[in-house]
Amino acid sequence: DTGVSQDPRHKITKRGQNVTFRCDPISEHNRLYWYRQTLGQGPEFLTYFQNEAQLEKSRLLSDRFSAERPKGSFSTLEIQRTEQGDSAMYLCASSSTGSGNQPQHFGDGTRLSIL
């Protein structure tokens, strides 16, 4: 169990640029979540995948945001035409679908700073 891995750890970009983040979940986990965390706040849900299917998207996820999980393994989160308000920590989590409510395991996050 190598844990959830996110890349890059930090991203600094100019407003208007596109950025893409990657998440590698724990290998046997088929559930994958993206969250966004701003300073002094708890994480907020963005989107959820079960295997390769994106089954839920938050209203926080504007049209500039898109997420994929093409083979049901790693996932990418892309933000187009970044804005100042996109500056945040983007967290990925994964879990299995065993019996009961399986806990989510989080990566260390990607911190996005928009200049």
Partner 1 sequence: GNSVTQMEGPVTLSEEAFLTINCTYTATGYPSLFWYVQYPGEGLQLLLKATKADDKGSNKGFEATYRKETTSFHLEKGSVQVSDSAVYFCALSEGATNKLIFGTGTLLAVQP
By C-beta, is 60 or 81 nearer to partner 1? 60
At its nearest, how many Å lie between partner 1 and the CB of residue 16?
A: 29
Local structure of residue 84 (DSSP, 8 states): G
Q: Specify the 3-state DSSP secondary structure of 86.
A: helix
* CA distances in angstroms from 26 to 4, 18, 58, 60, listed in the order given: 5, 27, 23, 26
Residues 73, 25: contact at Cβ < 8 Å? yes
17: closest CA among 85, 88, 61, 83? 83
Q: Cα dihedral angle (22, 50, 63, 91), rounded to 10 degrees?
A: -40
At its nearest, how many Å lie between partner 1 and the CB of residue 8?
A: 14
By C-beta, is 43 or 114 nearer to partner 1? 43
By C-beta, is 75 or 95 nearer to partner 1? 95
By C-beta, is 52 or 80 nearer to partner 1? 52
At its nearest, how many Å lie between partner 1 and the CB of residue 101?
A: 4
At its nearest, how many Å lie between partner 1 and the CB of residue 81?
A: 26
Positions in the binding site for partner 1 (CB under 8 A): 4, 31, 33, 35, 40-45, 48, 50, 55-56, 91, 93, 95, 100-109
